Chains A and B, each alone.
Chain A
Amino acid sequence: MSAPTLELRDLSVAYRVRGIDRQVLRGVSLAIQPGEAYGLVGESGCGKSTAAYAAMRYLPRNGAITGGSILFEGRDISAVPEAEIRELRRAAISMVYQNPIAALNPTIRVGEQVAESFALLGNGRSESRRLAVEALRRVQIADPSKVMDRYPHQLSGGMAQRVVIAMALASSPRLLVLDEPTTGLDATVEAEVLDLLRSLIAESNTSILFISHNLGVIRAMCNRVGVLYAGALVEEGATATIIQRPSHPYTVGLMRCIPRGGLDKYDSHLDTIPGTPPPLGTPLPGCVFVNRCAIARESCATAPTPVTDLGNGHTTRCPYHAEAASMPRVVASEPVTASDEHRAERGRDLVTVAHLSKTFAQGDGDVRVLSDVTLSLRHGETLGLVGESGSGKTTLAKTLLGIHPPDDGSILAIDGKALGSTIDDRTAHEVASIQIVFQNPDSALNRRHSVTRIVARAVQKLAGATPQASEERAQSLLDSMSVDPVLHSARPGQLSGGLKQRVAIARAFAGSPRVVVCDEPTSALDVSVQANILNLLADLQARENVSYIFISHDLGVVRYLSDRIAVMYLGRIMEIGPAQDVFDGPHHPYTEALVSSIPDVDGETRVRVRLGGEVPSPAAPPTGCVLHPRCPRRIGSGVEDLCTSTEPPLREIGPGHAIRCHLDVGQLGSASRAATA
């Protein structure tokens, strides 16, 4: 057998922080064969990206290889001169990473940047340009010569990532390193980029190192997967094996954190991984996971854990791997239940939104971001809001909060009473009753105030309490969010992401709200932390009978928490109904495309329903049904002309389940039907 394309042999990397070397990779060994796609998963700070950059031999200024070696096609590249590395990067190893728009130079035309990759291979100027057009066509950009003349900020995220991929593939590399290449992209765009990568890889014999925190993506892309924790590779094997039969307590924990397989809060609480990862550079002589492990023995802390071979290339570093799959849960699996008294209230409307529109004046024309939105939010329920970016989810939430006023004629009411259109028009009680939890708690919390002070101020403002009383209420709120009393005097900067989000939730609950808008509250968090926050939100809802409007791009998370789901596209509600009906179908063609685009952890093969083209500008929405230019089910439906001429009304197709589509229910897709097809 020929040498692996990439091999890491007992690789250790350290970062020098304040004069001390901190171990980031602890003796990682892995090999990627020609044509193989290898996934690397783990939570943030576990060393995934360091491993990726080490493969490119691109470490930060303070990083250094402290042991082991990096072999590319059998040759040790950990110490070769810079000029040779440059040659490898030009011709043999390429990389694509997160945030594609930032990865392109903002002041140089896209075409020139792609052509540069070809010029580096020794092509002349005009030849490089010709090859660049060709490369853009290869990544399925419809009008390459037009895109060549654009600047990066004029591209959508998905388009920019195609450009970056075109650049990376310029040299037909033997190794392609992908570091979270689809993180931050919309689900449908992510699915398209993954499809593209898959087809490009299939054409070549390129080896892939694929870094992702998303196991679904890894499942869709990789043959083999390695699980990193605290800089050590704790488990490795075929992707399906690792997902179905994880044999390391960390992997088992990870799998249990993820809401999947249609799980919702009425089935069970999510399990989680206790504690937090060790700080960077902690000396760990024994098992790296010992402090968070449910089945750890005393010896685990001190005795090194050798690799155990489980056969078929499946290895684990846990000597007690046989117990891992059945290790005790941290959070009991009981379902989230509300009291009888609260349950009696459910089903009654709390918030009414009717004919809500929002138009922003922009330059020469008006942009209608929300168009005639009608929905209700019931007592104690979660309404999930899904849709691609630009669909109007956040604008709807902000209008509810009174951050910007809706257009005239819109109706907004809580408990049957009309709500003021902006915060200034609302009573203190009304302001307190609708609150928000943001995606990024950093920007929502005042960095200079202590945690107690932040929450106490909110209590004072929203509940009108005295300073003395609000301090006490703040303490008890923080306690109920499981924020350790030791941390009550800490400042937000001293807290982890999950703790900060708990403080932000405590702040939102300060005035006993009736409605809390959760705008991507767990998107920036690791899955184990996410599971904790989702459990907390579910428990708070059961206890306080509060209603949530839950916005997330992660459909698994939305499904877990939501009772009902509204699907939005270009400022309109395309479908609304009970969570299960929306997911299972028959559903709107847009919902169908969204649902089918999620890379499934369990590897269910689904028929991918594609949307053509890109989201149109809300300044110039298409005529008729706004989805018609992209609709996967319009052609052959028999009502093509109706779709292009008349906007369909929201029409009920089941109890509480409505869709905005001209097609007959029998013509619509559904998840169950697709699975059997």
Chain B
Amino acid sequence: MGAYILRRVGLALVTVFLVTTAIFFMTHILPGNAAERILGNLAERENVLLLEKQLGLDKPVLVQYTSWLGDAVRGDFGESIQHRVPVEKLLVPSVGYSLRLALVAFLLTIPISIIGGIVAGVFRGRWIDRAITVGGLSAAVVPEFVWAVLLVLVLGVNLHWLPTNAFPGTDASVPEIVHHLLLPSVALILVLFGYISRIARAGVVEAIESDYVRTAFLKGLSRPAAIRRHVLRNALLPTIAVTASMVPYLVGGLVAVEIIFNYPGFGGLLLKAVQYRDYPMLQSAVLIISVVIVGVQLVADILFAVLNPRIRQKVSQ
């Protein structure tokens, strides 16, 4: 098991490296650069060249890349071209805010979706199953930014149930923070619920129809006991894998929702970084995203192996 985890961590590091490298070269292929952006369309050509030289943009891409990589490995992520401050000064607080939102959203989404899926699976074919399945899928086909706008209008502006401002200020208390994050979280829940609950439902249905659950019934277990002891664990295995694969999706949704709610997360930062060709900022943001996504996948893989004796056995060989 230890060797397996080590191997997976190694693979994860390789993935992160490949992603950041790919992003670095892709952004440099894009037309325009930071110097042109900063000085505007009407800037004199020589001024642009001068600024490029100051920013180090005149060097070959490969040289830029190796110097960025060398600095990054030492923990120096460079200076934001746009804001002229070290990248981490801006990134660290905004990533903190984003993680807060992601955490609240995910902590709400996963239990709600899994419970929804289990209820639908256990009561397959009844009205509650149809409501969950149809409702979940209908909600999922609406993009999260549309939900965000609708939710702000209905729950915030018209009904005054939830605050429309997602950010209560830097010195707010924890309940206050969570309260303000509910509205953007709901937008994300609405999109993810349909997918995750569907997988959980399919897992439950498959387990209920399996021979081993029939064995449980024929042993004389009651339905709730059979479901608790024999259905849930087997049903949740595929759900874990799928939920982990939804994380990139959540990150994408997060960026859109943050912008709509004017939330000081790193979504806004990322968007501006792309617009201004703020390479150091962009690179660091991508690095963080890939670390988060790969990290979650890693945790899910390990969890999967822990819960599934078959995989665990293969893994330890």
Contact = CB atoms under 8 A, between A and B. Distances in A.
A297 to B, nearest CB: 44
Contact of B210 (A102, A154, A167, A363): A102
Interface in B192-223: 210-222
B40 interface: no
Nearest to B307: A107
Nearest to B309: A151
Interface stretch (A13-21, A85-93, A504-512, A651-659): A85-93
B308 interface: yes
Contacts of A94: 218
21 contacts: A87-B220, A89-B217, A89-B219, A89-B220, A90-B219, A97-B211, A103-B211, A104-B212, A105-B216, A106-B309, A107-B308, A107-B309, A108-B229, A108-B233, A116-B229, A117-B219, A151-B309, A153-B309, A153-B313, A154-B313, A167-B219
Give the interface centre of A95, A107, A363 by most chain B CB atoms within 10 Å.
Answer: A107
Give the interface centre of A94, A99, A105, A106 by most chain B CB atoms within 10 Å.
Answer: A105
B310 A103 contact: no
A116 B234 CA distance: 18
A120 B215 contact: no
A164 interface: yes
Nearest to B234: A107
B310 A106 contact: yes
Contacts of B213: 105
A99 B211 contact: yes
A58 B211 CA distance: 13
A97 B221 CA distance: 18
B215 A103 contact: yes
Contacts of A95: 218
B234 A106 contact: yes
B308 A56 contact: no
B230 interface: yes
A58 B218 contact: yes
A86 B307 contact: no
**Majority secondary structure, A binding face:** mixed
A153 B310 CA distance: 7
A103 B212 contact: yes
Given A86-B222, A151-B313, 6 more contacts: A58-B214, A91-B220, A103-B215, A106-B212, A107-B237, A151-B310
**Majority secondary structure, B binding face:** helix
Q: What interface size band does chain B fall in? A: 20 to 34
Given A107-B234, A153-B309, A102 B212 contact: yes
Contacts of A90: 219-220
A97 B310 CA distance: 23
Contact of B218 (A56, A104, A105): A56
Contacts of B309: 106-107, 151, 153
B110 to A, nearest CB: 20
B310 A105 contact: no
Contacts of A120: 219-221
Contacts of A106: 212, 234, 309-310
B211 A102 contact: yes
B170 interface: no
A49 B317 CA distance: 41
Nearest to A102: B211
Contacts of A107: 233-234, 237, 307-309
Contacts, number: 67
A528 to B, nearest CB: 28
Give the interface centre of A56, A58, A83, A120 by most chain B CB atoms within 10 Å.
Answer: A120
A110 to B, nearest CB: 11
Can you list the 3 inter-chain pairs with the closest CB atoms, starting with the nearest?
Answer: A90-B220, A89-B220, A102-B211
Nearest to A104: B212
Nearest to A98: B211
Contacts of B220: 86-91, 120
Interface in A155-169: 164, 167
Nearest to A61: B125
Q: What interface size band does chain A fall in? A: 20 to 34
Contacts of B210: 102
Contacts of A108: 229-230, 233
A160 to B, nearest CB: 11
Contacts of B307: 107
Nearest to A90: B220
Contacts of A151: 309-310, 313
Give the interface centre of B217, B218, B229, B233 by most chain A CB atoms within 10 Å.
Answer: B218
A619 to B, nearest CB: 12
Contacts of A102: 210-212
A112 to B, nearest CB: 10
A164 B214 CA distance: 12
Interface in B290-317: 307-310, 313, 317
Contacts of A154: 313
A107 B232 CA distance: 11
Contacts of B317: 363
Contacts of A117: 219
A503 B317 CA distance: 44
A106 B312 CA distance: 12
Nearest to A60: B209
B215 A104 contact: yes
Contact of B217 (A58, A83, A105, A167): A58
Nearest to B230: A105
Contacts of A88: 220
A103 B217 CA distance: 11
B232 to A, nearest CB: 10
A179 to B, nearest CB: 11
Contacts of A87: 220
Give the interface centre of A95, A103, A154 by most chain B CB atoms within 10 Å.
Answer: A103
Nearest to B222: A86
A117 B219 CA distance: 6
Contacts of B211: 97, 99, 102-103
A248 B307 CA distance: 55
A89 B234 contact: no
Contacts of B230: 105, 108
A97 B309 CA distance: 24
A363 to B, nearest CB: 7
Interface in A431-466: none
Interface string B269-305: 0000000000000000000000000000000000000
Nearest to A364: B317
A102 B210 CA distance: 8
Contacts of B218: 56, 58, 89, 94-95
Nearest to B236: A107
Contacts of B222: 83, 86
Contacts of A97: 211
Interface string B223-260: 00000011001100100000000000000000000000
B18 to A, nearest CB: 28
Nearest to A109: B309
Contact of B234 (A86, A105, A167): A105
Contacts of B215: 103-105, 164, 167
Nearest to A97: B211
Given A151-B309, A151-B310, A153-B310, A105 B221 contact: no
A56 B237 CA distance: 31
A87 B219 CA distance: 9
Interface string A128-160: 000000000000000000000001011000000
A24 B214 CA distance: 21
B209 to A, nearest CB: 10
B293 to A, nearest CB: 28
A415 to B, nearest CB: 45
A58 B214 CA distance: 9
A108 B231 CA distance: 11
Contacts of A105: 212-213, 215-216, 230, 234
A670 to B, nearest CB: 41
Contacts of B308: 107
Contacts of A83: 222
A168 to B, nearest CB: 9
A433 B210 CA distance: 42
